[in-house]
Structure 1
Amino acid sequence: MTSAWTNETAIQQWNSGSTRESMEATAERGDFAKEHLLNPVLLRLLGDVRGRRVLDAGCGNGYFSRMLAGRGAQVTGVEPAESLISFAREKAGEGISYVQADLARLPEMEPFDAVVCSMVLMAIPEWKPAMRACVEALRPGGLFVFAIVHPAFEELLGTWRKYGEYRQTEYLAEYEIAGRDASDFHRPLSAYLNEVAALGCRVREVAEPGLDPEMADGIESHVRMPNFLIVAAETGCPLMP
């Protein structure tokens, strides 16, 4: 299972799997799911970011960093994969700086008002140190927003197309899910929420976005079931050792 994986091996996968073509295609708003399901909720949960220091943790090609900067935030994007951060730096505009680092081993930085970690934690073998680093990067009362593939509906589209319904045979175990560019790792929803609580955060909202039926066009499964989970939490309680 995930014991054979390290963040370094996962980073190598993302580095080799991220082509220039794919990064250019998603440089403005991300892919279809990010544009129509994730971005609107992430931006709503983050609220007015004008003048706020925001950490885009695992920023990938930097598209969301650029969206945040366009709304007036002072953004630091962190990304370990060389191909992705090189592209992000190439496209960077005013109000953005980038740091190449493993999320589980963030360098010391000035505290942030908000940390957003979108579609990253389920792709990290060492996800607990990464989540802790995100929380520790916040000022007291800061906002931590993370998005993951919904643990209950990870292979939603494929099984829906095959069976006309969603099917899952294993939920409680942890296991690897091989992907086109890199692997994800299944963990129960309780693992993420319990870790947020253990890190002294108070959950403000949990969102399970569904696709607008007018946008479905052959992916009805995303109208009926949530393929993604988004959590907003705020710091304030002491961290557990």
Structure 2
Amino acid sequence: MTSSWTNEAAIRQRDATATREAMEATSEDGDFAKRHLVNPVLERLLGDVHGRRVLDAGCGNGYFSRMLARRGARVVGVEPTGSMTAFAREREVRERLGITYVRADLARLPEDTGPARGPFDAVVSSMVFMAIPDWRPAMRSCVRALRPGGRFVFAVVHPAFEGLRAEWREHGEYRVRRYLEEYEIPGPVACDFHRPLSAYLNELASLGCRLREVVEPGLDPVVSEGARDAVPGLDGYVHLPNFLVVAADAP
């Protein structure tokens, strides 16, 4: 647990700040960073998902669930906020990709939660754990949902380079004053929570998972050059990783 925050409070905050405009704008493949830095790595680490049962843990507006379904996966998306769950279900009614969306808190996901019941061949959780105060039970839920040897892939904002673009825009480099302790990171939409990288990897090890790969993606300089004027500070993504993506296999 971080500070006095509860999962319920964090969920309420994100639910209250999720706008229809923002969900529509990111409904196909996320925002710029997800499109160029996170999604390609998630897809590679998950491998061929055709015919496989995949849990999208903390699916938000469902964009990555839809990307997986279009690649032939049988997808269940779990999301705690009412606004995003409703948006994802609305898109499913229109597109009929065969995705089931469940509204639930990952940290309190019972083993018999209907469609979200395991086992799954793979679980993916993108940009979720750093947004959850009580994140360890959420990670345990993800691993518990897997079949033996199933693939678990998660992405978080890199704990060593949070706020990279803003720092690069202001200073032309990244500056950090503290790293080892846990603390809140207020944001324009909701609060995130800093923890050192070791917290995530040590929890993964404690759950008996076998680490397969750690990726710190950097932006292609050609992409950066083309979008530099529209997105100030983008060069920071070329030189430093703003995201951390981890793949592991369940025991």
- Normalised-by-shorter TM-score class: over 0.9
How far is 1:160 from its partner? 1.1
2:82 matches 1:99: no
2:211 matches 1:211: no
RMSD over aligned CA atoms reads 0.9
CA distance in 2: counterparts of 1:121 and 1:26, whole angstroms:
20
Tell me what 1:83 maps to: 83
Amino acid at match of 2:221: P
Tell me what 1:239 maps to: none
Task: Give unmatched runs, 5+ long, in structure 1.
Answer: 237-241
Contact 2:3 2:183 in 1 (8 A): no
Q: How does 1:8-157 map to 2 (within 5 A)?
A: 8-92=8-92, 93-107=96-110, 108=112, 109-157=117-165
Amino acid at match of 1:166: Y
Give TM-score, length-normalised by structure 2: 0.92
Amino acid at match of 1:234: D
Contact 2:2 2:134 in 1 (8 A): no
CA distance in 2: counterparts of 1:106 and 1:75, whole angstroms:
17
Tell me what 1:232 maps to: 247
How far is 1:215 from its partner? 1.4
Paired residue secondary structure (2:3): helix
Size of the alignment, in residue pairs? 236
Deviates more, 1:1-10 or 1:206-215: 1-10
Paired residue secondary structure (2:248): strand
Percent of paired sites with the same residue? 69
Deviates more, 1:209-218 or 1:123-132: 209-218
Paired residue secondary structure (1:158): helix
Contact 1:18 1:84 in 2 (8 A): yes
Amino acid at match of 2:192: D
Task: Give unmatched runs, 5+ long, in structure 2.
Answer: none
